[in-house]
Amino acid sequence: MSSYVKIPSNLKPSDPQGSDLLAQERATVTFDVKELTLFLFGKKNLDRYHEILRIVENDPAFDKTNVYFMGRNELFKHAMKKEKRLAQLIKENKWKVEDIQFAEWLLDTPGPFGVHRGMFIPTLISQGTEVQKKEFLVPALKYKILGCYAQTELGHGSNVQGLETTATYISEADEFEIHSPYLTASKWWIGGLGKIANHAVVMAQLKSNGKPYGPHLFVVQIRDMETHQPLPGITIGDIGPKFGFNSTDNGFILFDRVRIPRSNMLSKFSQIKKGTGEYINPPNDKLLYGTMILVRAIIISGVRFALERAVTIAIRYSAIRRQFVDKEEPKKLKDGRVVETIILDYTMQQYRLFPVIAQAYACFFTAKVMIDQYAEYTKQSSVGNYSLLTDLHASSSGLKSLTTTMAVDSIEECRRACGGHGYSSFSGFVKFYQNYLPNTTWEGDNFVLTQQTARHLFKTFRKMVLSKGAEAYPSQSERNQTMAYILQYLNDPNHTCTATTHLDFKNPELQLRAFGHRAAYLIANAVDQIDNHKSTWNSMLVEINRISRAHCQYLLVRNFINALQNSRQSEDEGLHMLRDNPSLKEVMLTICNLFVLHTMEKDLGDFMECGYLTPSQARLLRAQIYNLLKEIRPNAVGLVDAFLIPDFLLQSAIGRYDGKVYETMIDWASKEPLNGITLDVNPDSDVLFRNETDNKTKAKL
Amino acid sequence: MSSYVKIPSNLKPSDPQGSDLLAQERATVTFDVKELTLFLFGKKNLDRYHEILRIVENDPAFDKTNVYFMGRNELFKHAMKKEKRLAQLIKENKWKVEDIQFAEWLLDTPGPFGVHRGMFIPTLISQGTEVQKKEFLVPALKYKILGCYAQTELGHGSNVQGLETTATYISEADEFEIHSPYLTASKWWIGGLGKIANHAVVMAQLKSNGKPYGPHLFVVQIRDMETHQPLPGITIGDIGPKFGFNSTDNGFILFDRVRIPRSNMLSKFSQIKKGTGEYINPPNDKLLYGTMILVRAIIISGVRFALERAVTIAIRYSAIRRQFVDKEEPKKLKDGRVVETIILDYTMQQYRLFPVIAQAYACFFTAKVMIDQYAEYTKQSSVGNYSLLTDLHASSSGLKSLTTTMAVDSIEECRRACGGHGYSSFSGFVKFYQNYLPNTTWEGDNFVLTQQTARHLFKTFRKMVLSKGAEAYPSQSERNQTMAYILQYLNDPNHTCTATTHLDFKNPELQLRAFGHRAAYLIANAVDQIDNHKSTWNSMLVEINRISRAHCQYLLVRNFINALQNSRQSEDEGLHMLRDNPSLKEVMLTICNLFVLHTMEKDLGDFMECGYLTPSQARLLRAQIYNLLKEIRPNAVGLVDAFLIPDFLLQSAIGRYDGKVYETMIDWASKEPLNGITLDVNPDSDVLFRNETDNKTKAKL
């Protein structure tokens, strides 16, 4: 796209140049950045990354140059173009799910086919019979059928049992009647529904012979395959603009007694018998929970990538941006001239940004553990052993809540740490933040979710207290990490922190004990409130949220510490690398310590309230955190470079790998379509744009 | 605007209806809502509010119906239309500054004339000579000249001393040469510059006879008055899309040795002598600080209105939104049917939202105090007494930082508390949040600002320690509230909290002592670090930020408590009302207690670290907070109704006064222009929109 404003070509930013500053930063790194990248991705994924980046980066259909200037219609068109081209590439290159995930990550444009691929097809696979797969899945895979997943309603989100759409079996016709009895029954927020889908998997209250059987899934054709118009009895629309995701057609749909064949009820697990309308029960509901755990592991992995992206921009920009001369420690150029201090040298900036690097690594290790645990659970459940399920489900609920909230907060912290320029779309933060935001709400609202975590913890705790002394429960084989910290607490509820110098806070046993003790203390208190003081569940919700947070922080801390400790023995490709690379191991240890201690400091009140930390220990803890910031400082740019977030994804003038911050800001600004318009500024004139028609053409791009 | 989708007219939301639920809430309120509104606005402002609302609400130029659907160009055009009409109304109705402020608040569209009125004109008034006022101010007031205020540059924001644009006096020509020596010298973020302004007040480094005199202000004509094209040597553009404020033309400008007459340097306080180039010093710089204090008082008043707006939406929606049946305390309709619990009845929702109500009131009282103090300072300074200045300046810096960060966090908390629908633009949160966000960065970055606060506190502390024993400083007459809490601490540094029951936490003396003790403790520690352990300023920045926060929380708490205590004696119109209205006073006391204790709980670590609170007292504190939530519950809707934020401002489907949440959501969705388009969804077809031309016309609106 061409510029509307000619920028004088003789001007450069004042010295020192961004590229030189980044080169200096890269020279101080104490470890091999490429090795760390390899550790993070693994050989196979790194090859995949490069291969897919090569393909998508230069494809004109995926050109992102004008995205920041697009209104809703243009943006949606841009997304459709991307979806169509992506569908072709998937076919041409025979991409698998993992390849598509990489491509979607790089393309960074949530589009109308996303739910078709991510929800509609997987639901048909997991819930459909073989006959149903032939009818719906086969054409869906070829994009002959385009589907969406219609669960949430205008009036109901979290409470799936409360959905109002009905599916009533009409035995005479052997059909279901899909109906929206109220306005609030309108399906709402359904990705792909607003404009694209011609089929929907609809979650509706099954009724047969006047009896309710709760929410079930039905395949409903919603638009004509030729005209693409809604079928009779069906009202569809896009739900309008949103904070982000405006490249997707989240839609609504109302059904006015729409009939579908009985065979359209997804029937792998439950069904209605022809004629009699008899309901056949699902064998067990555990399978559903298994999938939820996997989805949450993927979300937590997504947290890692989101944090990496945000902190890459903020760290690089902070290494270039200079502001104020630090009078006590003035920076000088080689020629002796005093220059302003780069903002990354200010401890406040380090305190704001370095913990975000650490959070990204923490999520990396926890996502890894979750995926391993899911694999182990899948193995065990295939032979009928579901014992891992409840703890996994509870922990994954709380972890999804904790980490996605952390991600949103940290992205915004990184953005604000970039000052005024962080507010420009060109920073790369704006669209990114807007699109990331729904993670706090979807797949379980972050506040509602924590109740599932706490409920399980209370049960575990009660069971363990009852069996205390005998230690019958848990037996050695049943014992999991949750029980380990509860047991430790029950054996020594008055345990206190043993630290006497700030160095003691680097001790991983002390760190784990701190998080375990605090979580167990909160659980013990809440159980006491409920069991002995008749507190209602509702009256305990604030405490419940604290407990889930405490438990999941323990898990993040434990998984990080364990990974580093186990690297000595592990067969795991990545951990193996850590063992053989002392400089890498050292920097990881520092990062781990910062994550643990910064997390502790943020909730310092908890650690003191439970009697674990004294006021003077709190001061030692802070001192240790400030030391860690100093240790990390020379590696800051290296650590974010290692994340290997490509410029194609960042789309950031201020976070670019080459450091050309200011040149890019002004170059992109010159392309703003509003710059092609001349105004009539006279307040008494009704004319606003003098050359409006001109602009319409130009703005079309 | 007409609908693209016909919504079935026979459908209603499922029972109970939103309007009935709000009516129930309004019936439980224990105080007179109208009285509270009167208390908040005062008679004069309330009349003004109604008068201006009446005028703007029905003016077609201010119609907001389509705003959520607009792209950048449409939005900017919408803003221009608003600006022109507003300029007419100001003239017609002879509106004063206060009237314009009310109108701008209601119109809620930051537009290109904003800086002309808010910065360009005031700068001419305060910095211009009488001759300059004739030349520039008179036509500016008539909109013959449109101006902007060009200070910030691409490379410099907070550090004004570091600006790169130069203004060199050329004695031969008796002119200044305005020049941008680097790309980073480009003015950037300048409101009104991108498209509208034909004049700019430019902050540039004054140079004369080879000597630098630091940043000064110059009036520069930048566009041709006829063609509206940039003048020779000048490059101008809009800086492109932003997180919000896209209805404003924030711009950039580069000067290539542009000449202006010597008389264009704003010379009320300093000037260059003709020919000799001699620099004449400004008499004193205290005047500038005075204005900053006033601007910050206005920002804090703005925090109040922002919080009120956010929490009005969230509370009303929470009184209508139902989710899950609370099995322990199920809600029943009159006919006995069990219905889901409204989410406002969940303690977690109360814990998230009620403190935001309390924050709004806290800011109301503190803004009041600041404006009073500013008036007092103005009075004293007019007779040469500037003794109030340093403390006022330091406190207002930290308060701006603390309260705007609080506002942004609370707006987002309110938005998320509305679940999925909070993410829709129709919630009224999205554009609102996006436009509010820059408050954390402009008028002093929120992190940089806290250094000014802490620096003053350290000085005060040192002075008081030096004079300890003799108590020579401060003398009774010099003593201000900052000194009062420091003195209390110095006299009893080991003081601890005396609370033995949760009720004790309602004691205002105990509350004030807690905040004062904690702030003084942090100051004492930091001064010790700097003075006795050679800690650099940079190494203390994290602590400095904590200290400013602690001090300013003390001020918010103190101002709230004082207002309620002084209502007995006060002559102030509002406080007078509190005295005579016990039910109002009671609800204010509860709100005050919630603000104080919730603020304390959020920083519990601090209060325990300084040795003031014990772990068991921390538990009592929490218990008291949960009690306060219960006390506030019946008044929640009444409290936000009293804010009197009109639907015209809210533009919220979910926060409307009448409670018609779901009807409005679907009605507005039906108007989404994307719904007027038919797609070609075949992935192998290059066609994206089937009826594109149609839509172009429709989307034009």
Check residue B694 and give its pLDDT: 45
Whether chain B has a CB inside 8 Å of the CB on A614: the answer is no
**Quick one: pLDDT at residue B696?**
46
CA distance A638 to A635: 5
Which helix (DSSP H) or strand (DSSP E) does residue A201 occupy?
strand A199-208
> Is 80 exceeded by the pLDDT of residue B697?
no
Contact B182 A6 (CB under 8 A): no
Q: Does residue B691 surpass a pLDDT of 80?
A: no
Mind giving me the DSSP string for A476-542?
TTT--HHHHHHHHHHH-TT------SGGGGG-HHHHHHHHHHHHHHHHHHHHHHHHHS---TGGGHH
Write out pLDDT tens, residues B246-260: 999 999 999 999 999
- Residue A573 Cα, gap to closest chain B Cα (Å): 39
Rounded Cα gap, residues A197 and A251, in angstroms = 10
| The pLDDT of residue A588 | 97
**With bands split at pLDDT 50, 70 and 90, how would you rate the model's confidence at B576?**
confident
pLDDT for residue A483 is more than 90:
no
Give residue B480's pLDDT.
Answer: 76
CB contact under 8 A, B5 and A237: yes
The pLDDT of residue A473 is 67
Which pLDDT score is estimated for A695? 44
Mind listing the pLDDT tens digit for each residue in B488-511?
999 999 999 999 999 999 999 999
Residue B1 DSSP SS3: coil
Give the pLDDT mean for B187-205. 98
Cα–Cα distance for residue pair B180/B454, rounded to 1 Å: 35
Q: What's phi and psi for A659, nearest 5 deg? A: 75, 10
Query: Any residues with CB less than 8 A from the CB of A519 and at least 6 apart, and which?
Result: A485, A547, A550, A551, A553, A554
Whole-complex ipTM = 0.96
Q: B268 CB contacts (<8 Å, ≥6 apart)?
A: B126, B127, B128, B129
Cβ atoms of B551 and B395 within 8 Å: the answer is yes
Average pLDDT over residues A228-252: 97
The token pair that represents A214 in the structure block: 């709760």
Smallest Cβ–Cβ distance between A683 and the set B87, B351, B419 belongs to B87
Q: pLDDT tens digits for A165-186?
A: 999 999 999 999 999 999 999 9
Residue B277, marked binder: no
Host H or E run for residue B28: none
Q: Is the pLDDT of residue A699 over 50?
A: no
- Consecutive H or E run containing A251: strand A251-255
Give the 3-state secondary structure of residue B144: coil
The dihedral of CA A414, A416, A420, A422: what is its sign?
positive
Which residue from A12, A328, A674 is facing B538, i.e. has the nearest CB?
A: A328
Distance CA B244, CA B248 (A): 9
Chain B residues lying within 8 Å of A438, measured CB to CB: 420, 423
Mean pLDDT along residues B15-36: 97
Q: What domains can you pick out in chain B, each with its CATH number?
A: 39-109 (1.10.540.10), 118-283 (2.40.110.10), 289-641 (1.20.140.10), 673-701 (no CATH)
Flag if B189 and A420 touch (Cβ within 8 Å).
Answer: yes
**Per annotation, catalytic residue among A25, A153, A443, A663:** A443
Instruction: Say how far apart CA B697 and CA B326 lie, in whole Å.
Output: 51
The type of residue at A521 is Y
State the smallest CA–CA distance between residue A221 and chain B in angstroms: 15
For A268-427, where are the alpha helices, taking DSSP H only? 286-318, 347-382, 389-416
pLDDT digits (tens, 9 = 90+) for B3-24: 999 999 999 999 999 999 999 9
CB contact under 8 A, B239 and A669: yes
Query: To which H or E segment does residue B412 belong?
Result: helix B389-417
Which parts of B603-635 fold into alpha helices (H)? Answer: 604-609, 615-632
**Residue A444, marked binder:** no
Alpha helices in A533-581 (DSSP H): 541-566, 573-580
- Does any CB of chain B come closer than 8 Å to the CB of residue A24? no
Rounded-to-integer distance, Cα A193 and Cα A248, Å = 9
B255 → chain A, closest CA residue: A8
Q: In Å, how far is B533's CA from the nearest CA of chain A?
A: 13
Nearest to B665 by CA among B254, B201, B317, B229: B317
- Helix B573-580 to helix B582-602 angle (10° resolution) is 110
At residue A470 the predicted structure's pLDDT band, cuts being 50, 70 and 90, is low
Closest chain B residue to A323, measured at CA:
B159
B146 to A681: CB separation less than 8 angstroms, yes or no: yes
Size of interface A-B (CB pairs under 8 A): 390
The mean per-residue pLDDT over the stretch B608-629 comes to: 97
Token pair 């997804």: residue: A266
pLDDT exceeds cutoff 70 at B26: yes
Question: How far does CA B179 lie from the centroid of its chain?
Answer: 34
Instruction: Find the CB nearest B71 among A72, A238, A249.
Output: A72
Nearest to A666 among B252, B429, B540 (CB): B252
Whose CA is closest to B105, among B54, B49, B158, B161?
B49
Contact A279, A272 (CB under 8 A): yes
**Phi then psi dihedrals of residue B258, to 5 deg:** -90, 130
* Closest Cα in chain B, distance from residue A693 (Å): 12
pLDDT of residue A469: 53
φ, ψ for residue B255 (rounded to 5)? Answer: -110, 130
HEC string of B36-52? Answer: HHHHHHCHHHHHHHHHH
CA separation (Å) from B288 to B87, B201, B303, B445?
28, 16, 23, 18
Contacting A residues, span 334-363, partner chain B, CB-CB under 8 Å: 340, 345-348, 351-352
Question: What is the torsional sign of CA A85, A89, A95, A98?
Answer: negative
The residue type found at B122 is P
Residue contact B254–A685, C-beta within 8 A: no
Q: What are phi and psi of B454, to 5 degrees?
A: -65, -40
A448 pLDDT more than 70: yes
Query: Nearest chain B Cα to A418, which residue?
Result: B441
The reply to whether B678 touches chain A by the CB within 8 Å rule is: yes
Q: How do residues B314-334 score in pLDDT, each as one tens digit?
A: 999 999 999 999 999 999 988
% of chain B residues with pLDDT over 70:
95
| Cα–Cα distances in angstroms (integers) from residue B308 to residues A171, B44, B244, B314, B644, in the given order | 55, 20, 20, 10, 9
Q: Rounded mean pLDDT of A547-560?
A: 97
Q: What is the pLDDT of residue B141?
A: 96
Nearest to A155 among B14, B81, B674 (CB): B14
Each residue of A243-272: pLDDT tens digit? 999 999 999 999 999 999 999 999 998 999
The proportion of chain A whose per-residue pLDDT surpasses 90, expressed as a percent, equals: 86
Query: Residue A694: which pLDDT band, with cuts at 50, 70 and 90?
Result: very low
Which chain A residue has the Cα nearest residue B9? A183
Write down the mean pLDDT value for chain B. Answer: 94
**Cβ pair A70:B70 closer than 8 A:** no
Quick: pLDDT tens for B447-473: 999 999 999 999 999 999 988 655 556
Tokens representing B451 are 């250094």
pLDDT in tens, B223-232: 999 999 999 9
Average pLDDT estimate for B168-189 = 98
Looking at A444-448, A562-566, A568-572, B575-579, which range is the least confident one? Answer: A568-572
Spatial distance between the Cα atoms of B522 and B197, rounded to a whole number of angstroms: 47
Of B185, B241, B540, which has the smallest distance from its Cβ to A68's Cβ? B241
Rounded to whole angstroms, the Cα distance separating B111 from B109 reads 6
Cα separation, B463 vs A429, whole angstroms: 45
> Of B608, B628, B668, B701, which to mutate for an interface test with A (greatest number of A Cβ within 10 Å)?
B608
Each residue's pLDDT tens digit, A352-381: 999 999 999 999 999 999 999 999 999 998
Q: Does A541 touch chain B (CB under 8 A)?
A: yes
pLDDT digits (tens, 9 = 90+) for A320-350: 999 999 999 999 988 888 999 999 999 999 9
In the structure, what pLDDT confidence band is assigned to residue B698 with cuts at 50, 70 and 90? very low
The predicted structure's pLDDT at residue B335: 86
Which residues in A lie closer than 8 A to residue B4 (C-beta atoms)? Answer: 237
HEC assignment per residue over A660-677: CHHHHHHHHHCCCHHHHC
Task: Answer whether residue B695 shows pLDDT above 50.
Answer: no
Contact list in B for residue A677 (CB cut-off 8 A) is 73, 195
Contact A8 B256 (CB under 8 A): yes
Burial of A86 (0-12, 13-18, 19+ CB in 10 A): buried
pLDDT in tens, B345-392: 999 999 999 999 999 999 999 999 999 999 999 999 889 888 889 999
Q: Which helix (H) or strand (E) holds B20?
A: helix B18-27
Q: Which residue of A has its CA nearest to B163?
A: A323
Amino acid A690: pLDDT: 82
What b/e sequence results for A308-337 when a residue is b if at least 16 CB atoms lie within 10 Å of its CB, and e otherwise? bbbbbbbbbbbbbbbbbbeeeeeeeeeeee
